[in-house]
Amino acid sequence: MATLVCFHAHPDDESIATAGTMALAADAGHDVVLVVATRGELGEPQPGVLADGEELWQRRVRETHESAGILGAGRVEFLGYRDSGMMGEPTNDDPRCFWQADVSEAAEQLAQLLREVHADVLTIYDDHGGYGHPDHIQVHRVGRLAAERAGVSRVFQSTMNRDHILEMMREAASQLEAAVAEDSDQREIDDDFGSPAALITHAIDVRPVVARKRASMQAHRSQIGPETFFMKMPEEAFCSAFGTEWYIELGRPRPADEPYRTDLFDGLR
């Protein structure tokens, strides 16, 4: 069996991006380790969720451990950096934040962990952090360097399939009234959101464990309350939106005439 390490920026990122992959790996007998760069101090808590005197980061750490238990991750580690906030915010300048971290130092901290757990597979984010978040971009930079130092050759960039999302938007628009549909069909997605299908190498079908993916999101109740969009989605719609997790394997592009690969552990079993 192999060891999968999923490196994320904030608590709840694992639920949205790689929860299904983690659950499937754990079910197959692989060791699963979750590493989080920050404690998500700058998240926006749901109204009334925090107890008197409770700091948001304290709640988010507990929620991360609960999520990890649902997904079968046997170990959770925090690198200890502070949440940087969204790109362009004054919080990006905080010397304690992950965006300001020395990449070499942060990579060595992660590399030590990768060596300790004998990591075979590492997931990070794509080079623009999925949607331009500074901490996600830093996960990419730090993760790549750490993998090089620790000798982890299987590195997968978690991303969103931009073409798939656009197609879902068009299908939804086709069900609306003509005037609304016409307007909706012209919506665009920014170029820094996700990745085009041509760059994606792996499509992991996580529908068999999508209920656990949803439960993992629910564990992060300080951020994803019962009235949020994700939690109010009907099961069928949730499965359509979150039933596949997308990756770009570093150093091994997918030829245009080949289908998506479906296994991060191919050849390791």
Here the tokens at position 41 are: 């101090």
Cβ-contact 7, 107 below 8 angstroms = no
- Of residues 13 and 229, more confidence is placed in 13
Residue 144 CA to residue 147 CA, distance in Å, equals: 5
Residue 168 has pLDDT above 70, yes or no: yes
**Confidence grade of residue 178 (pLDDT, cut at 50, 70, 90):** very low
Q: What is the mean pLDDT of residues 70-80?
A: 98
First CA to last CA distance, the chain: 6
Q: What is the mean pLDDT of residues 77-96?
A: 98
Residue 89 CA to residue 99 CA, distance in Å, equals: 11
Residue 186 has pLDDT above 70, yes or no: no
Residue 201 has pLDDT above 90, yes or no: yes
Residue 211 CA to residue 217 CA, distance in Å, equals: 10
**Confidence grade of residue 174 (pLDDT, cut at 50, 70, 90):** low
Q: What is the mean pLDDT of residues 26-49?
A: 97
Q: What is the mean pLDDT of residues 133-157?
A: 98
Is residue 82 exposed (0-12), middle (13-18) or buried (19+ Cβ within 10 Å)? buried
- Of residues 11 and 164, more confidence is placed in 11
**14-28: per-residue pLDDT in tens?**
999 999 999 999 999
**208-253: per-residue pLDDT in tens?**
999 999 999 999 999 999 988 889 999 998 999 999 999 999 999 9
Kindly list the domain boundaries of the chain, sorted by start residue. 3-160+195-249, 161-191
CATH number of 3-160+195-249: 3.40.50.10320
